[in-house]
Copies of this chain bind each other. A is one copy, B any other.
Amino acid sequence: MSLKDLTTVMLPAIEGELQRQVARLDEPRTRTFHEMLTYHMGWTGEGAGLEAQGKRIRPLLVLLSCAACNADWKSALPAAAAIELVHNFSLVHDDIQDNSGKRRGRDTVWVKWGMPQGINAGDALFVLSNQAMLDLAPTHPAETVVKAAKILHDTCLDLTRGQYLDMFYEQRADLTIEDYWPMVSGKTAALLGASCALGSLLSEVDEATQEAYRDFGHYLGLAFQVQDDLLGTWGDSARMGKSAESDLVSGKKSLPMVYGLGKNGPFARRWAEGPVRPEEVAGLAEQLAAEGARLYTQETADQMTALALHSLRMADPQGEAGEALFELANKLLNREA
């Protein structure tokens, strides 16, 4: 089976497990509360459907990592759901913190039900994630369940660290590349690393292999983020004239941006003057490239990609799921937009 065949089987199983976990709130008295979560997960309300659900990359990584260690991926479904629920908890709170009105083209939870209920809905997704993880108990030794829960919690602390830094950096004009990595490690890489670590942990392979899986997910996350930063400044949408969507306009703390600040040249001076207007984007992106940011970002993306693929080879994933992991990594890292 190819990646496509495997995901065709795994995605409905993930969705079913997620719905089972969220159904803990499906009681007459908390009907609207339950609805907030099923809406956010993309199952109900206007615009519900595959588009609204996201790609479920993280739970797929859990299941593929488990299967590539020759274990039954179905036994890892609670862990896959836990990871996706944590991801969604962070999105719900993120949308409030960023004052974002839209998520995947739909109104955000806090816009629909108010900020106080939005915070609580995020909290509930977090709790459900913890509960999902303990559903491993019937099929795994208690020692393994405790280890899995520890991976989840340690990752969540990293998430809050990354989120803190992201918000803290808003007030700083002196960001450097050293500030970038702890932020993206927490916000992106930690959860992808945890996904692969969990899949391998549940197959009970040796710890060195689990470490290799974790590294794969971690570097995959970093490579993906750096690639995303590259496209956000010099990608298709910038080239095709959608300047308003450029990271330079949104002010995102991207690798090219912190690289440029570190150069203390024309880019940094312009940046210090305040928000970038869409009509400046093309010129400023060119300036940033001239200062070496594009080459540096591309080289960094290549480096992280190489580290991810090296870690995956070290993990030595087996069978069709193993091939699917390589395929998924290449798919995520070789996008053009």
Where the two chains meet, the residues of A that have a C-beta atom closer than 8 Å to any C-beta of B are 24-25, 29-30, 32-33, 93, 96-98, 114-117, 119-120, 122-124, 126-128, 130-131, 134, 137, 141-143, 145-146, 149-150, 152-154, 156-157, 159-161, 163-165, 167-168, 182
Checking B24, B29, B145, B167 against A120 with a beta-carbon cut-off of 8 angstroms, the contacting residue is B167
A146 and B134 contacting across the interface, CB-CB below 8 Å: yes
Copies of this chain held together in the complex: 2
A161 and B119 contacting across the interface, CB-CB below 8 Å: no
Q: How far is the CA of A148 from the CA of B114 in the complex (A)?
A: 33
B97 and A116 contacting across the interface, CB-CB below 8 Å: yes
A115 contacts which chain B residues (CB < 8 A)? Answer: 96-97
A157 contacts which chain B residues (CB < 8 A)? Answer: 24-25, 124, 127-128, 131
Q: A165 and B30 in contact (CB under 8 A), knowing A96-B116, A97-B119, A142-B141?
A: yes
B168 and A32 contacting across the interface, CB-CB below 8 Å: yes
A134 and B149 contacting across the interface, CB-CB below 8 Å: yes
Query: Whose C-beta in chain B lies nearest to the C-beta of A145?
Result: B146
Cβ of A277 to closest chain B Cβ, rounded Å: 25
A134 contacts which chain B residues (CB < 8 A)? Answer: 146, 149-150, 153
Q: How far is the CA of A150 from the CA of B114 in the complex (A)?
A: 30
Which 7 A-B pairs have CB atoms at the shortest separation, nearest pair first? A142-B142, A97-B116, A124-B160, A33-B164, A130-B153, A127-B156, A142-B143
A154 contacts which chain B residues (CB < 8 A)? Answer: 131
B126 and A33 contacting across the interface, CB-CB below 8 Å: no
A160 and B120 contacting across the interface, CB-CB below 8 Å: yes
A143 contacts which chain B residues (CB < 8 A)? Answer: 142
Q: How far is the CA of A93 from the CA of B123 in the complex (A)?
A: 9
7 new A-B contacts at CB < 8 Å, known A24-B157, A97-B120: A32-B168, A97-B119, A98-B116, A124-B157, A127-B160, A131-B153, A145-B146
A182 contacts which chain B residues (CB < 8 A)? Answer: 29
Cβ of A301 to closest chain B Cβ, rounded Å: 24
A30 and B123 contacting across the interface, CB-CB below 8 Å: no
A149 contacts which chain B residues (CB < 8 A)? Answer: 130, 134, 146, 149
A156 contacts which chain B residues (CB < 8 A)? Answer: 123, 127, 130
Q: How far is the CA of A125 from the CA of B33 in the complex (A)?
A: 23
Q: How far is the CA of A159 from the CA of B30 in the complex (A)?
A: 12
Report which residue of A114, A137, A153 has the largest number of chain B beta carbons within 10 angstroms of its beta carbon: A153
Q: How far is the CA of A142 from the CA of B142 in the complex (A)?
A: 5
Cβ of A71 to closest chain B Cβ, rounded Å: 20
B131 and A142 contacting across the interface, CB-CB below 8 Å: no
A137 contacts which chain B residues (CB < 8 A)? Answer: 146
Q: How far is the CA of A32 from the CA of B116 in the complex (A)?
A: 25
A97 contacts which chain B residues (CB < 8 A)? Answer: 115-116, 119-120
Query: Whose C-beta in chain B lies nearest to the C-beta of A157?
Result: B127
